[in-house]
């Protein structure tokens, strides 16, 4: 499909760049489709919690989906549904300015920058764009509960 060619070219570049070097502890690779080919528009990734933060000790699985008009439009990054974080929708989708076309997304932002941006967001939630009630309310008003839930989540993904 010709409309995909720019997207494919860029994703092949991202794949190669990632293969050559990527941030330590992270992984990212295109998912297999039913024909056994690699689907460049869907990547399985893992974001390790940053050392020295409450999120350390686990790698959080994430699905990164690239739209047809990537890199004009940003990819969607999704943790498992129900992921506990103030800026993650109940569906698991991350609400982050660099992933928002109307805010800070730029076509030059790389996959490494995205996953590191998400790692950074984990311990530094943005109080201005709440995406779920649960974690947001606790983060604002009940730090104890918040920390407890984060720790539980670390345990869940530690395996």
Partner 1 sequence: MSTTKRHSDLERTFGKEAVATIASSHVLLVGAGGVGCEMLKNLVLLGFGKITVLDLDTVDLSNLNRQFLFGHEHIKQPKSVVARATAQKFNPHVDITSHLANIITDPKFTVSWYKGFDLVYNALDNLEARRHVNRMCLTANVPLVESGTTGFLGQTQVILAGKTECVDCVPKETPKSFPICTIRSTPSQPVHTVVWAKSFLFVQLFGNDLDLGEMDESEASKEELNTLKKETAELLELRDVISKPEFGKNVFCKIFDVDIARQAEHNVDNGRQKPDPQSWDELEKLAKHLDGAHIAKSRAQNVWSREEAFAVFLDATKRLQTRFNNGETLEFDKDDEDTLDFVVAAATLFATVHHVTTKSKFDLKQIAGNIIPAIATTNAMIAALAVQQGVWQLTSPERARDYYISRRGGDRFFTVTKPAPPSSSCVTSSAARVVVMCDVDKTKLSDLVEWVSKFFPKEELAVLSSQLIYDVDFDDNLERTLADLGVKERSFVTIMDDSDDDIKLRNLEIYFEPRESAGEASSEKISNITPIPTVPTYTVEKPEEDDDDDDELEVADTSKRGFSEIDSVVILDEEPSKVVKVDEGTDEVKKDVQVEDVEEVVLLD
In the set 95, 99, 115, 150, the catalytic residue is 95
20: exposed, middle or buried (Cβ count in 10 Å: 0-12, 13-18, 19+): exposed
The three-class DSSP label of residue 114 is: helix
Q: How far is the CB of 156 from partner 1 (least distance, A)?
A: 21
Structure tokens at 152: 């539980």
CA 69 to chain centre: 19
* 113 touching partner 1, by CB under 8 A: yes
Q: Are 92 and 77 in contact (CB under 8 A)?
A: no
* 131 touching partner 1, by CB under 8 A: yes
* 39 touching partner 1, by CB under 8 A: yes
Q: How far is the CB of 157 from partner 1 (least distance, A)?
A: 21
* 30 touching partner 1, by CB under 8 A: yes
* 121 touching partner 1, by CB under 8 A: no
Residue whose C-alpha is closest to residue 96's, from 141, 142, 62: 62
Residues sharing a CB contact under 8 Å with residue 21, sequence separation 6 or more, in sequence order: none
* Rg from Cα positions in the chain: 16
Residue from the set 54, 56, 58, 116 that interacts with partner 1 by CB under 8 A? 116
Active site residues: 95
* Residue ranges binding partner 1 (CB under 8 A): 1-6, 8-9, 12, 15-16, 19, 23, 30, 33, 35-40, 65, 67-69, 71-73, 76, 78, 89-91, 93, 95, 98, 100-104, 106-109, 113, 116-117, 119-120, 127-131, 133, 136, 140
């Amino acid at each position: 499909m010709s409309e995909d060619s720019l997207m494919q070219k860029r994703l092949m570049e991202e794949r190669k760049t990632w293969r050559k070097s990527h941030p330590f502890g992270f992984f990212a690779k295109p998912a297999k489709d039913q024909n056994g080919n690699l689907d460049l528009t869907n990547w399985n990734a893992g974001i390790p919690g940053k050392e020295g933060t409450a999120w350390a000790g686990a790698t959080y699985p994430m699905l990164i989906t690239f739209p047809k008009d990537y890199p004009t439009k940003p990819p969607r990054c999704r943790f498992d549904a129900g992921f506990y974080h103030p800026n993650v929708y109940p569906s698991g989708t991350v609400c982050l300015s660099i992933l928002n076309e109307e805010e800070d997304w730029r076509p030059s932002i790389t996959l490494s920058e995205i996953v590191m941006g998400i790692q950074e967001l984990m311990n530094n939630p943005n109080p201005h764009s709440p995406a779920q009630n649960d974690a947001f309310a606790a983060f604002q008003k009940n730090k104890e509960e918040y920390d407890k839930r984060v720790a539980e989540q670390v345990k869940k993904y530690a395996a």
